[in-house]
Chain A
Amino acid sequence: MAYTPAKTWSDGDILNATDVMANLDGVKQYSRHLETGALKTSTPWVDTSHVMEGQYEPTTNMHSMVTGTYGGQNSGGLFSRATFASRWNTFRKSYSEQSILLPQTSLTVDLRRKASVFFQWWMQVQVKDNLTGLMPTGSLSPRTSFWFAINDTVAGTGVIQKSETKQGVPGPSNSKSGQVLLDGTFNTNGFYTKSSTTGQSSVGFGITCRCTGDMAHCLAWGVSVEVFYL
């Protein structure tokens, strides 16, 4: 619907300041809230020059665009950014399992609008010796597990691990120094989708891990996040 002036003058009308101001105020209000009917829709007219330019944050490798936010991290060259899981940091007390965030694999995103989020990771894990022989009660052999997790700092919910995204990696038998497979390596890959109804919040996406063995080297890995606003 087009703008409609509050006052239309006719011959003999008195020109009042209030009528003029009412019409001008109407223009101001209308210009701040254009209605659908005012837009020309017969031909597309928005091109890339009209859309706000995106921003790139090189430290976190994140692109923030009008359409969404996209970015990720990876391990770089071999051994340059390896990370790890171990029972020495996931079993903080004797026989008490605790998942922790896998170092370096989390991303923090400012969701500017209601959005759909897609997070995915891939990882090559090398499971090595298990020489200490100290296994949690009930464990038949060491295992390392990875999950997708959300850390909603605004909601204050802390790290929430999504059980259905579990990716398990086996380890060698108790007290054995050999590797499970001949090369001791496994591939994992996971993803998670989430619709966010709370825009403009700072949300962390990442991988949690839990390990009952001595060490699981995450030699090569990558994480990425895609946020769709449109």
Chain B
Amino acid sequence: MSEIENDRLSRASRLQPATLNEKFSDITAATTAAIDGTNVAREGIDLPNLDTNATNGQSDIILRSMLSASLGSSGPGSVTISFSTSSSPPAAPTYIGNEISYSSGISLVAGDIIRVYWSMNVEQVFTPNIALIRELWWALWLQWDITSAARANYTEVPGQGNFNDDITGAGKDSGSDVTSMYGCSLVAQYIRVIDVGATTLQYAQAPTGLRAQAVNGSWYYRVTTNTTLYGLRMVGGGLLYPFCDTTGALGTANVNYLRYANNTTPGVNAPQQLIVHEGKMSAIIMRDN
């Protein structure tokens, strides 16, 4: 109870120093680490009462961090993701610079909320092969580093697979369960084009003006255990094809996967590339307590 209760001086009594001093020492007592809710009126706290951050409002009360990074650079051909012609993919995913780095790490506590957004422009490159066409996809996904400031140990964020985990092993096309794709954007490699006046649908490499398309995605995560975050980055890989394990040969029956294509997959004919440019990634970390 820090409310100041100050009795009036009595007109009938002689004024003693102690009585007078008490008028002010009461205030001293009340302002010795004692001011609390009883001193503040309803709706008495507004922005001027709060110790906000001097430059950006990131006071760790609501907002802990808001950072951005450019993906690729302006113009075409910035980052090229190439399909591996190996008979046993996958190749390591291609890093799409730049990363968002927390130089000395940001300590996350359980309940903190991470929001990551990304957008970029992509162009598919391939040699048309209409006879063997099938559905093939590129994947662009999010990784984080929670190991050290060196940021040399990027791994997939929670809820996201690396397309080499749910199905793996010799003689198998690697892949991930489609339910493990929380931090991922997919890009179709082929666009179905119909020319004016034509009656035949064609799968073809898109005309120059059509190629660059917008891709975007986001990932939200509520931190479950205390950890330190050092970096976030986007990577890309492919080509991938959809596969349903109807028999359960790979585990549970009737599970849908995206699997890496190999050089014998129908519709694959090198070179196959995805060019990423003019992109951006932002990460917002918020506190909920």
Nearest chain A residue, comparing its CB with the CB of B67:
A193
Please state if A34 and B31 are interface contacts (CB–CB under 8 Å): yes
Known contacts A164-B279, A165-B280; A228/B66 CB under 8 A = yes
Is A181 interfacial (CB 8 A cutoff)? yes
Is B57 interfacial (CB 8 A cutoff)? yes
Q: How many residues of B contact A (CB 8 A)?
A: 67
Q: How far is the CB of B154 from chain A (nearest CB, A)?
A: 22
Known contacts A40-B2, A50-B40, A178-B195; A114/B57 CB under 8 A = yes
Q: How far is the CB of B178 from chain A (nearest CB, A)?
A: 20
Please state if B74 and A163 are interface contacts (CB–CB under 8 Å): yes
Do most interface residues of chain A lie in helix, strand or loop, or is the interface mixed? loop
Q: How far is the CB of B209 from chain A (nearest CB, A)?
A: 3
Please state if B27 and A115 are interface contacts (CB–CB under 8 Å): no
Is A140 interfacial (CB 8 A cutoff)? yes
From B54, B55, B63, residue with most partner A Cβ within 10 Å:
B63
Is B169 interfacial (CB 8 A cutoff)? no
In the assembly, what is the distance between CA of A140 and CA of B210, in Å?
10
Residues of A within 8 A of B58 (CB): 116, 195, 228
Residues of A within 8 A of B263 (CB): none
Is B36 interfacial (CB 8 A cutoff)? yes
Residues of B within 8 A of A171 (CB): 209
Nearest chain A residue, comparing its CB with the CB of B286:
A228
Please state if A230 and B34 are interface contacts (CB–CB under 8 Å): no
Please state if B210 and A170 are interface contacts (CB–CB under 8 Å): yes
Is B150 interfacial (CB 8 A cutoff)? no
Please encode chain B, from 45 to 74, with 1 for each CB lying within 8 Å of some chain A CB and 0 for all others: 111001011111111011100111010001
Contact among A10, A112, A114, A168 with B213 in the assembled complex (CB-CB below 8 Å):
A168
Residues of A within 8 A of B50 (CB): 66, 229-230
Residues of A within 8 A of B2 (CB): 40
Is A2 interfacial (CB 8 A cutoff)? yes
Known contacts A40-B2, A167-B214, A180-B210; A229/B57 CB under 8 A = yes
Q: How far is the CB of B221 from chain A (nearest CB, A)?
A: 17
Known contacts A39-B35, A40-B35; A46/B45 CB under 8 A = yes
Please state if B43 and A53 are interface contacts (CB–CB under 8 Å): yes
Please encode chain A, from 190 to 219, with 1 for each CB lying within 8 Å of some chain B CB and 0 for all others: 111101110000000000000000000000
Please state if A228 and B57 are interface contacts (CB–CB under 8 Å): yes
Nearest chain A residue, comparing its CB with the CB of B212:
A168
Is B208 interfacial (CB 8 A cutoff)? yes
In the assembly, what is the distance between CA of A5 and CA of B26, in Å?
10
Please state if A38 and B35 are interface contacts (CB–CB under 8 Å): yes
Residues of B within 8 A of A37 (CB): 32-33
Please state if B63 and A50 are interface contacts (CB–CB under 8 Å): no
Contact among A27, A143, A163 with B209 in the assembled complex (CB-CB below 8 Å):
A143
Residues of B within 8 A of A42 (CB): 33
Is B42 interfacial (CB 8 A cutoff)? yes
Please state if A38 and B34 are interface contacts (CB–CB under 8 Å): yes
Please state if B37 and A114 are interface contacts (CB–CB under 8 Å): no
Known contacts A15-B15, A50-B42, A164-B280; A38/B33 CB under 8 A = yes
Q: Known pairs A3-B27, A9-B21, A166-B121. 15 more at Cβ < 8 A?
A: A2-B33, A5-B24, A37-B32, A45-B37, A50-B37, A112-B47, A118-B282, A142-B209, A164-B278, A180-B210, A190-B119, A190-B216, A192-B282, A229-B50, A229-B52
Q: Could you jot down 5 A-B contacts, CB within 8 Å?
A: A40-B36, A50-B45, A113-B57, A114-B57, A140-B207
Q: Nearest 7 A-B pairs (CB), nearest first?
A: A141-B209, A195-B56, A189-B216, A5-B24, A228-B63, A178-B196, A9-B17
